[in-house]
């Protein structure tokens, strides 16, 4: 289960500080704001990356996001940046990102 910011952070947890989206300028949507009717998730924590990936793919489906709407979320472990997820759910580990 995701841990919200009002609870103590556990050690060895993978965390996404913010999972959000933006409008796609190709469809005359505002690229500075989330799509209307969607939501932003904050301070999501799980013990496994696979759980974060599942949440991410469900978020994409639930908000009906395309690649142009997706904002790749940064992933942290013990408050240290370790990589990010791309639209297809692939995790890109730092420093081995493109």
pLDDT in tens, 22-40: 999 999 999 999 999 999 9
The reported pLDDT for the residue numbered 6 is 44
Angle CA(69)–CA(92)–CA(61) in degrees, nearest 5?
35
Name the residue ranges covered by the structural domains of the chain: 14-93
Q: What is the pTM of this model?
A: 0.83
**Residues recorded for the chain:** 98
Percent of the chain topping pLDDT 90: 81
Residue 35: other Cβ atoms inside 10 A: 19
Torsion sign across C-alpha atoms 65, 71, 77, 82:
positive
């Amino acid at each position: 289960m995701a841990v919200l910011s009002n609870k103590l952070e556990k050690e060895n947890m993978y965390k996404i500080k913010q999972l959000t989206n933006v409008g796609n300028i190709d469809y005359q949507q505002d690229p500075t704001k989330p799509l209307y009717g969607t939501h932003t998730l904050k301070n999501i924590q799980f013990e496994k990356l696979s759980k974060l990936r599942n949440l991410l793919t469900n978020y994409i489906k639930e908000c009906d996001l395309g690649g142009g709407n997706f904002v790749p979320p940064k992933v942290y472990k013990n408050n240290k940046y370790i990589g990010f997820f791309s639209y297809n759910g692939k995790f890109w580990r730092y420093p081995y990102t493109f």
